A and B are shown apart, each in its own frame.
Chain A
């Protein structure tokens, strides 16, 4: 089966610009996650969707970050405006919701200058 797809793989922007990331989960996976992974740290959950509803967005900086999952499949994560501290790898993962196992995409490496 096809894995989790993410694009773009790399993105360089200036601070105060906006950026968007796209994720296509494994077919049939109801749960989708966006993580932020800062260099040298573990992934931090930003938002978790169950189908197209939000289950947990407690660590999402809502003044600048937004995410949506239309039709319970693809998802986009947007940052507007970006700050220097947003430089990180943004990982998308999906799961079938049983057993807790998550499948990760390759990530998008964002550099904010």
Chain B
């Protein structure tokens, strides 16, 4: 069984401030972890993913996330928020190998204040 918890359904940051979106996961097997972004009236787009290897993962648009097994966390960060970052962000987990089901969190809506 696997699950994802995203802390905070809404997060507001000032333009230029640090973005921190929290994700904790539960998985009975070593996980693959993902962050997706969804802009209004669009589908989800992959920001970054962790499969194996380096625990600090860099993605598109300046985002990065760190896999911390001991904390079962995969928080998403960006040093400096842009107005264009305003969107909804989803953390997701799947098992490794084969065609594993992906479980999504409930999402965090990021607001960027000018």
- A→B interface (CB under 8 Å): 4, 31, 33, 40-45, 48, 50, 55-56, 91, 93, 97, 99-107, 109
Contacts and interface: CB of A to CB of B under 8 A. Distances in A.
A48 B99 contact: yes
9 contacts: A40-B107, A41-B107, A42-B92, A45-B103, A56-B101, A93-B43, A100-B51, A100-B102, A109-B41
Given A42-B107, A50-B99, A97-B99, A104 B45 contact: yes
Given A43-B90, A100-B34, A101-B34, A31 B44 contact: no
Nearest to B101: A56
Interface string B1-21: 000100001000000000000
Interface of B: 4, 9, 32, 34, 36, 41-46, 49, 51, 90, 92, 94, 96, 98-107
Smallest CB-CB A-B distances: 9 pairs = A104-B43, A42-B104, A100-B32, A104-B44, A100-B94, A42-B106, A106-B43, A43-B104, A105-B43
Contacts of B34: 100-101
B44 A91 contact: yes
A23 B102 CA distance: 19
B43 A91 contact: yes
Contact of A45 (B36, B46, B101, B107): B101
Contact of B42 (A33, A42, A50, A106): A106
B24 to A, nearest CB: 14
